[in-house]
Chain A
Amino acid sequence: MLRKSLVSLLAASTLMMAADKLNGAGATFPAPLYYDWAYTYEKTTGTKVNYQSIGSGGGIKQVKSRIVDFGASDEPLQSDVLKKDKLMQFPAAIGSIVVVYNIPGIKDNEIKLKNEIVGDIFLGKITKWNDPKIKADNPNVNLPDKEITVVHRSDGSGTTFNFTYYLSEVNKEWKEKVGTGKAVDWPVGLGGKGNEGVTNYVKQTPFSIGYVEQAYKRQNNLSGATVTTASGKWVEATEDNAKASAKYAKWSKDGDFYQILALQPGDNSYPIVAGTFILLPEEKADMNKDVVKFFDNSFKNGDKSAIELGYIPLPEETKNLIRSYWKDKGIY
């Protein structure tokens, strides 16, 4: 409680200085991207954007209690929830979640896992790498006779929300037993804190499998599995395949851009993609204008770094839709 009031005191004192500093907090999933955007923005405009990667749940909580200027979440909120807490919402980028593994001697994309099999592994039904079900799709890979160590998130997480949403859609048993959520009762495995924690555990544990955001996979040279599209075709977690998936997103201002992007149709659509969202407190018009300026600037100049980091920038028409949403709300 004391900490909370201290934080809000700090936030209040920075509020008075207004435009030269913006405070945001939330999802770890887009954090590398926001850091990059903030760095460029400060260099070009002198305005500092301070983003704390504390997790989607934390971001929602902090913007609800008005501690930060903007919150970030990978789990979009429905319009009625937004209305209740007087919040606005728009997407900032799209990312993909990769099923990563650490099997000594087996490289990136060498292992193919059908979506349903991914579910069986995370359920603990498939316990060894040389299980006939995995072997059937990987006849030429020398799969070891070793126990699979499942690694998942130990904290509440938007990445987990999107991943468990995907598992619930592709695996019936998962849906019945575990379900979708930012934190679930994992049937098996180890829990790492944050995308970083899962990355570390996977790197440290031979024969493990986990799920992380694409940027973390790239920066740490993890190996990712080839999975299947909604219609069952093999698909790798590449930029093009994630883009193909993003194309199908039907964004709309009416639902405050509420949209879960997993399992889009199309032959090359990578199945586990997710939008990442920004939440703004409705009543702080001046501050919102400053925040919107930052994102508008990043939409204009930040696509290149988004791609480099492994994210998919929003398509131009989506950006324009967001701009008109801002205009409707009187903050652009």
Chain B
Amino acid sequence: MKYMMDTLFENLTRFLALLVLVVLVAVFVVLYNNAEPAIEKYGLSFVTNEKWAPNMNIFGGFPAILGSVLSTLIAMLLATPIAIGIAIFLSEIAPAKLKTSFGVSIELLAAIPSVIYGMWGLFYFAPVVREIFGGNGIGLLTGGFILAVMIFPFIAAITRDSMNTTPDILKESAYALGATKWDVIKDVVIPYAKAGVIGSVILALGRAIGETMAVTFVIGNVHQIPSLITDATTSIPVTLANEFNEAESKLHYASLFYLALLLFAISFIVIAFAKFYFLRKVRKAK
């Protein structure tokens, strides 16, 4: 009897795990099928074509792809150091009392729905960016800022947790050998927590590259290549949100699916690369 339960349970979990692959393939198939007219017409030149004019039935994905990559890059560059700083403070430096109150606020920030960040960004952040950086306050930089604000709590919370797992005995041994706090953080805590830090950055990257609502509010929603960092542009998810409902011509519809397929591919490649390259390195080092 017990034996049968075991096999049953094994098969059940195997089936559940397979579901992941099924969903992945199903998503890909639907995106590919719907994108086919655009793939046939443009091929890979879609990626480098700059003009997007639905009324003339001309579609090029370069501005949206570039906007996605740049806004995510800005967000990661800003958020990662801030988040790691917060995490170090919370796990190593802050007194116990502060730890909980700061910790809870970080988790609260991470839980705020993105549309709220978008509204806050448009009404509060855009004027600030306009004052400091010029331009009209709505554009790539504001989009990147908002994304950074959205993902840093995320990175900070996970990084803090993984830093907290550093065994005390390691830290105490380092102190006993005469290491300063800085030495301990640099040479014991960070190397120990590396996998967690990189993991959280990868997850945040995934969130940033697909973020839609918050960015739609502040990026400017135009298919143009920004010549300044404050210029308006668009990103792939923003384009989909703006135009999907209204896409009437077959090619427009297919081009939006093509963009979605590219986003799928980009996030897949970025995450796969990050996982295999960085995490393997970390594991090897251990």
**Taking beta carbons and an 8 Å cutoff, which residues of A are in contact with B?**
1, 54-58, 60-61, 149, 154-157, 164, 178-186, 189-193, 200-201, 204-205, 208
A179 contacts B137, CB within 8 Å? no
Of the residues A56, A180, A185, A201, contact of B223 by C-beta under 8 Å? A185
Most-contacted residue by chain B among A55, A56, A191 (CB, 10 A): A191
The total of interchain contacts (Cβ-Cβ below 8 angstroms) comes to 94
Asked, given contacts A54-B245, A193-B242, whether A182 binds B221 with beta carbons under 8 Å apart, the answer is no
User: Ordered nearest first, which 9 A-B pairs have the shortest CB separation?
Assistant: A181-B55, A156-B246, A57-B246, A191-B221, A185-B53, A154-B221, A58-B245, A183-B54, A190-B220
Contact between chains at A179 and B55 (CB < 8 Å) = yes
User: Is B201 in contact with chain A by the CB < 8 A criterion?
Assistant: no
Given A204-B122, A204-B137, A155-B127 contact (CB < 8 Å): no
Q: Is B133 in contact with chain A by the CB < 8 A criterion?
A: no
Number of interface residues of B (CB under 8 A): 31
List 29 A–B pairs whose Cβ atoms lie within 8 Å, in order of A's numbering.
A56-B246, A57-B247, A57-B248, A58-B246, A149-B136, A154-B222, A155-B246, A156-B54, A156-B245, A157-B246, A164-B55, A178-B53, A179-B55, A181-B56, A182-B246, A183-B55, A183-B246, A184-B54, A185-B52, A185-B55, A189-B232, A190-B136, A190-B221, A193-B242, A200-B122, A201-B138, A204-B123, A204-B127, A204-B138
Q: Is B30 an interface residue (CB 8 A)?
A: yes
Q: How far is the CA of A226 from the CA of B127 in the complex (A)?
A: 28
Q: Which of B16-72 contact A (CB under 8 A)?
A: 30, 51-56, 58
In the complex the two chains form, is A189's CB within 8 Å of B248's CB?
Answer: no
Given the complex, which residues of B lie within 8 Å of A55, measured CB to CB? 245-246
Whether B183 sits at the interface, judged by CB under 8 Å, is no
Residues of A within 8 A of B162 (CB): none
Residues on A with C-beta less than 8 A from B138 are 190, 201, 204-205
Does B80 have its Cβ within 8 Å of any Cβ on chain A? no
- Nearest-CB distance from A15 to chain B (Å)? 22
Residues in A whose Cβ lies below 8 Å from that of B221: 154, 190-193
User: For residue A186, which residue of chain B has the nearest CB?
Assistant: B222
How many angstroms between the C-alpha atoms of A60 and B136 in the bound complex?
Answer: 35
Q: Complex: how many Å from CA A126 to CA B112? A: 42
CB-defined contacts of B130 to chain A, threshold 8 Å: 205
By a beta-carbon cutoff of 8 Å, the part of chain B in contact with chain A is: 30, 51-56, 58, 122-123, 126-127, 130, 136-139, 216, 220-223, 232, 234, 241-243, 245-248
Roughly how many angstroms separate A204 CA and B247 CA in the complex, as a whole number? 28
* Chain A residues within an 8 Å CB radius of B223: 185
Smallest CB gap from A181: residue in B: B55
Chain B residue, CB-CB nearest to A156: B246
Report the separation of the CA atoms of residues A200 and B216 in the bound assembly, to the nearest whole angstrom: 13
Q: Which of A155, A179, A200 contacts B245 (CB 8 A)?
A: A155
* Contacts known (A57-B246, A57-B248, A191-B222); A185 close to B136, Cβ less than 8 A: no
Bound form: Cα–Cα A208–B55 in Å: 25
Q: Which residues of B contact A186 (CB under 8 A)?
A: 222
Contact among A164, A178, A193 with B216 in the assembled complex (CB-CB below 8 Å): A193
Given A60-B248, A179-B56, are A156 and B51 neighbors across the interface (CB < 8 Å)? no
- A182 touching B54 in the complex, CB below 8 Å, given contacts A155-B243, A157-B246, A193-B221: yes
Q: For the complex, give the distance between the alpha carbons of A182 and B136 in Å.
A: 25
CB-based contact B55/A180 at 8 Å:
yes
Known: A185-B56, A190-B136, A193-B216. A154 touches B242 (CB 8 A): yes
